[in-house]
Amino acid sequence: MAELAELGELVIPMSAPSLLILQPTPYCNLNCSYCYLPHRDLRSVMSEDVLRAIARYILAPMPKAQRPAVIWHAGEPMTVPPKWYHNAFELLRRESGGTPLNHGFQTNGVGVTDHWLKLWQDWNVQIGVSLDGPAEFHNRRRKTRRGTGSHALTMKGVETLKSAGYPFHIISVLTTDILPHPELLIEFYADNDLHDVAFNIEEIEGQTETSSFENDDTAVSRYRQFLKRFYELSDRLPVPINVRELQNVQSLAANMRKNGMRNTQNTPLAIVTIAVDGGMSTFSPELIGVTDHARDNFIFANVCDGGVERILLSPAFQQLKREVEEGKRACARSCGYFDVCGGGAPANKYFEHGRFDGTETLYCQLTIQANVDVALDFMEQRSGRVPEQPREMELR
Ligand code: SF4
């Protein structure tokens, strides 16, 4: 693959993509109230032709050391059987020149069996389980298709993973319901031996047109208090909880001067999302499946016709790129967090403002600004702290 793709005004580094998000199926066996995927009733499954095209047109031309991580998501990946993945992983490996890829699943954890464990062990698949804490919080929004809570089903999957000693992390979607109760969340993770977690905020995106965080003047400050208290309580546990948001800021503080900031969501082709039928999108993965005819529904090419560089030929992509760049420049002019943010998530600007050239969103107030401030304060507080004896868990 050429070092640079040049196309009129577009000059784009072609070490991209660093992340491929593949949609094995749009279908999901749950029906969570905050889900952004509009086609989650459809049961179509990615064909061998699409898989072969991904291998030949995207993976094979890339140097092996630069091949992207692959996340299977954007529908529930475990609604397609393990045997399908054995075949798909093997096909991708074979057709792209023989090197196994780094695969990951983002899953609701419903229905983990020995067959799944064998697949994940055989291919060293990274697993993220969506679990929103204790049942009383998780079940309010993470529902089965019958409308009942899904907590017990997900916990069964979690227990199966733990019994097998298979590593995984948790992603918890936070709503304002949990903000007064950081101790309940800590207690839940600690009691269940869950020590790697990430927080996602209930967002306005795709089909989800509201969030408990909007129209609430106190939500951002309450989220900051929640995070601060969570980190303090976690730090007192015999085994503290690794929180992605804190680790990200620590790693940024350590590496930013050396490596600079790269925002993959507003860098063309850094993330490429491929829909079940081979349709390719870029920028924020949440744009996939969104209906916006003026923007070709954010599908800019099909992988069966060629590699990611075909995206660059799309007039809809070129227009979107201009708007995203304008939003990035506006962020650089106006926001003190730009050096650690890089100009935000295009999807959240679009879902909140209806355009891509805007700046601040509720999403970035929470996931960038609050996360950075609270993490830096906490790191400073911790570095100057005299160790307490004994370090007991302080709850409630
Ligand atoms: S924090 Fe928000 S306003 Fe600031 S650079 Fe990021 S997206 Fe733009």
**pLDDT (tens place) for every residue of the chain, 396 residues total:** 333 344 434 444 445 799 999 999 999 988 888 777 778 889 999 999 999 999 999 999 999 889 999 999 989 999 999 999 999 999 999 999 988 899 999 999 999 999 999 999 999 999 999 999 999 999 999 999 999 999 999 999 999 999 999 999 999 999 999 999 999 999 999 999 999 999 999 876 555 567 788 888 899 999 999 999 999 999 999 999 999 999 999 888 777 666 666 799 999 999 999 999 999 999 999 999 899 999 999 999 999 999 999 999 999 999 999 999 999 999 999 999 999 999 999 999 999 999 999 999 999 999 999 999 999 999 999 887 644 433 332 222
Task: At 143, list the tokens.
Answer: 């529902």
What separation in angstroms does the CA of 32 have from each of 36, 106, 149?
9, 15, 9
Which domain covers residue 217, as residue numbers?
4-265
The Å distance, Cα 343 to ligand 1 centre, comes to 5
Is residue 143 domain-resident? yes
Give domain status of residue 344, yes or no.
no
* Residues 6 or more apart whose Cβ sits within 8 Å of residue 258: none
Hunting for tokens 């069964």 — which residue is that?
156
**How many Cα atoms within 13 Å fall on the side-chain side of residue 238?**
3
Pocket test for ligand 1, best of 368, 369, 373 (most atoms within 8 A of CB): 368
Q: Is residue 359 part of a domain?
A: no
Q: Which helix (H) or strand (E) holds 234?
A: helix 219-235
CA of 262 to the centre of ligand 1 (A): 14
The residue whose CA has the least distance to atom 3 of ligand 1 is 360
Beta partners for residue 129, in sequence order? 107, 170
Residue 73 lies in a domain: yes
Report yes or no: 201 and 173 within 8 Å, Cβ to Cβ.
yes
Q: How many whole angstroms separate alpha carbon 350 and alpha carbon 357?
A: 9
In a domain, 381, yes or no: no
Place of tokens 């099909």: 302
**Ligand 1 pocket: which of 248, 339, 341 to mutate (most atoms <8 Å of CB)?**
341
Specify the DSSP element, H or E, that contains 85: helix 82-95
Q: How far apart are CA 153 and CA 148, in angstroms?
A: 11
Instruction: Determine, yes or no, domain membership for 351.
Output: no
Q: 158 in helix, strand or coil? A: helix
DSSP, collapsed to helix, strand or coil, labels residue 184 as helix
pTM (predicted TM-score): 0.89
Check which CATH number belongs to the domain holding 176 and give it: 3.20.20.70
**Does residue 348 fall inside a structural domain?**
no
Give the DSSP per-residue string, 199-229.
EEE---BTTB---TTTT-TTHHHHHHHHHHH
Q: Which residues are 205's β-sheet partners? A: 208
Residue 149 sits at φ, ψ, to 5 deg, of -70, 150
| 390 Cβ contact partners less than 8 Å away, ≥ 6 residues apart | none
Residue 241 lies in a domain: yes
φ/ψ (deg, to 5) at 242? -80, 115
Domain count, the chain: 1
Distance 208 CA to ligand 1 centre (A): 22
Q: Is the peptide bond before 315 cis (omega within 30 degrees of 0)?
A: no
Q: How far from the centroid of its chain's Cα atoms is residue 107's Cα? A: 11
User: Which amino acids bring their CB within 6 angstroms of ligand 1?
Assistant: 331, 335, 337-338, 341, 343-344, 359-360, 364, 368-369
**Token reading at 61:** 């031309």
